[in-house]
């Protein structure tokens, strides 16, 4: 199964560490099975910066991309139908669980819109809110246990030339001011990365 192509700014930048690279089944329908190859990169530089500033060592920011395969292959005209009827609902159902598995809580969907990806494709983008809840910290910490740091998360789903894709990520929108960049900077970088997935 083919890995998704991720932007060089992610896989060639030392701040990003590949933390997941796996294939898995997304859905089975009466006419086809849909599998995905997913890669997840974590911003280790941000993790280390926040840990140094607060004593809290946890996942704060990540980017993922998945390239899906439909078996048996369908005609390119059928792919958008499968994306709408099967891929999109399966991705929406799985994404909140993925966020929880990465340590986020209070996950809720906050809306959706469309954005351009690639040259002339459009993706449906789902926006989520969540929090990182600070647990017990050994040593000195500037964030008290129980503090909830807000996080924004995005999931994009689209199809290009008969191949479905999903991509997205999450980043803090609050927290220790000197350790965290403005949320707009993180959001812009995430959407730039999504647009280059292929």
Q: What is the pLDDT of residues 11-43, one digit of tens each?
A: 889 999 999 999 999 888 888 899 999 999 999
Instruction: Tell me how far CA of residue 165 lies from CA of 42, 53, 55, 67, in angstroms.
Output: 19, 36, 37, 5
User: What's the farthest any 2 CA atoms get from each other in the chain?
Assistant: 59
SS3 70: strand
pLDDT the model gives residue 176: 67
pLDDT value at 177 more than 80: no
Q: Between the CA atoms of 81, 87, 88 and 89, what dihedral angle is there, to the nearest 10 degrees?
A: 110
| Closest residue by Cα to residue 131 from 190, 175, 184, 178 | 175
Contact 83, 192 (CB under 8 A): no
Give the Cα separation of 17 and 91 in Å (integer).
23
**Residue 120: pLDDT band with limits 50, 70, 90:** confident
Q: Which two tokens stand for residue 117?
A: 């990806």
Average pLDDT over residues 109-116: 95
Q: What is the pLDDT of residues 133-168, one digit of tens each?
A: 887 666 666 677 788 889 999 999 999 988 999 999
């Amino acid at each position: 199964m083919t890995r998704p192509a991720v932007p060089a700014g992610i896989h060639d930048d030392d701040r990003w560490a590949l933390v997941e690279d796996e294939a898995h089944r997304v859905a089975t329908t009466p006419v086809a099975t849909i599998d995905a190859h997913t890669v997840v990169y974590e911003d280790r530089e941000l993790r280390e910066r926040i840990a140094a500033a607060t004593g809290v060592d946890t996942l704060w920011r990540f980017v993922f991309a998945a390239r899906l395969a439909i078996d048996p292959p369908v005609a390119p005209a059928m792919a958008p139908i499968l994306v709408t009827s099967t891929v999109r609902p399966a991705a929406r159902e799985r994404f909140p669980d993925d966020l929880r598995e990465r340590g986020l809580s209070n996950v809720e969907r906050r809306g959706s819109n469309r954005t351009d990806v690639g040259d002339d494709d459009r993706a449906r983008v789902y926006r989520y809110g969540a929090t990182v809840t600070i647990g017990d910290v050994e040593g000195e910490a500037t964030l008290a246990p129980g503090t909830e740091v807000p996080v924004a998360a995005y999931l994009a789903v689209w199809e290009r030339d008969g191949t479905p894709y999903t991509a997205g990520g999450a980043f803090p929108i609050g927290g220790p001011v000197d350790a965290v960049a403005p949320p707009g900077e993180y959001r812009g970088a995430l959407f730039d990365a999504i647009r280059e997935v292929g």
